[in-house]
Structure 1
Amino acid sequence: MKIKSVRCVCFSPTGTTKTIAESIAQGISPEFIEMIDITKRSQRNSQPLLGEDDIVILATPVYYGRVPEEILPYLTSLKATQTPVVLVAVYGNRAFEDALKELHDIAVDAEFIPAAGGAFVAEHSYSSKTYPIAPNRPDESDIRKAQEFGAAIRKKLQNVESSGHLTAITIPGQSPYIEPVNLNMIKEARSFVAVTPETDASKCTLCGQCAEVCPTGAISPEDVTQTDRWQCLICFACVKICPEEARQMNEPNFQSAIQTLQQNCQDRKEPELFLYK
């Protein structure tokens, strides 16, 4: 089949998932690449227009072993017509658990044809100088493997007449999907404590970058020291972008959990790739 364009539908608060998706698209080497960024709620107002010669990349970070709840309504609203899709889950060197399978099932329900899937590693959202977790990933090796994955996808697709001739790929995971226990605990705890990154007013210069990158608008542009606990995804995009390191998660139990996570995620994990035979 001909490959004219690749459309990357991407949720990427800290930018690493977008980097992986772009690298795979570059490896596929189509005539045209379109990035459809759905990170912010305001960016999810329209559906991508899909043609018969399109390939779609659905790319998302892994939150608590699952596809982020935040984008489920958008993803489940997508409609395809046997369009080939590449499924991408990006995780912080712990485990991708059922996220890639969940993304696969969403795609199948939307009448995409899964042509490939990949679980890639990126620096964990909670990684810091004190507790580094997969720091600086995706690195050169990750980028190269993503591009090589894209090239392998292109080679396979060029050898089939149409998407209808693609055979099914097997994606690991269980159904029902894993219960996001830690996320549920956070939701319950928020009735008593904020459990969001906080602003150190002595460091904050009111530059507004944290409010600009927040996917849900949880940080008030009028007063960036205020965060709506019920809207915050704990994606740490605000922490990562702050030039003064004024945004930090100070809640003691959360800090302890990050320390334990760092201790358990020191061994380097490599991308896991799934391509139809």
Structure 2
Amino acid sequence: MGSSESKPAEPEDLAPKPAAPVQEQELDKPWRSFKWDNISELKRSLEKFTPSDPNVKDIKILVAGQIGAGKSSFINSINNAFQGRITSAALVNSSSCGKSFTTKLKGYRIRTGKVTLPFVFRDIMGLEPDVLAGSQTEDIINALFGHVKDGYEFKKNPLTHEDQHYTSDPSLSDQAFCLVYVIAADTVKMTDDKLIDKLKVIRQRISERGIPQVIVMTKVDECTLVKNDPRKIYYSKKIKEKMQMCSDKVGVPMNNIFPVKNYHDEIETEDDIDVLILKALEQIVNLADDRLIENSDN
């Protein structure tokens, strides 16, 4: 009989096995109620909106935020939702140069078809932690109070009453009635304390005037769960935690924080992106109009 030789044992693979990907936590049920299929209703409501004070033609809303958070993209995304196509009225810088692409105060009107809607978004230079960089705290406060004219170019030193762009006695139409902070979801945790301090100063000063604040949290698709399916946004524990972090850092209540996805690489509009944008806009416009009513009554 031939002897059978046993095969040598295969050497064990001593290389470390790759770690299994960490699954993002998906909650059993959404933590915020949201109607995904009422986009037409939202559009109609916003298209019919008129300011409560007949002396005010347009409600102005100031948009502020850290460089690269997506302020200008948010304004464009609102316009996209109404136009049903990709627009670029507010120019966006695609490079990561670390400098604000917006250098002047400029107002952007939102159109639906050929009709201009009665609210104007004023875009301001991106905030930076350095006291001498980015738009100054006083410039943002003055812009909200209506002292800064469109076209003002932001400088290291804040605007003074001697500047030609300063309005000494602003009318209701010059003033902004809501401040929108745009904060990127992927940088909430790393936001510089000096920047947060700036936002807190602004919040305290404008709260004395009763001006409401809303946080729009962009780049939510950095969360894999949401990237694969936008309708999972309120099932995502990660998104909820980031929103809570925004609330804790800045002081804005959770019901005034809205996670959205700006249009970035899309070439067509999508209902699930639009409905998140429009819901945030509805709250912004309603809060601004509430403040306008209060101001008119005083």
Question: What TM-score does the superposition give when structure 1 sets the normalisation length?
Answer: 0.41
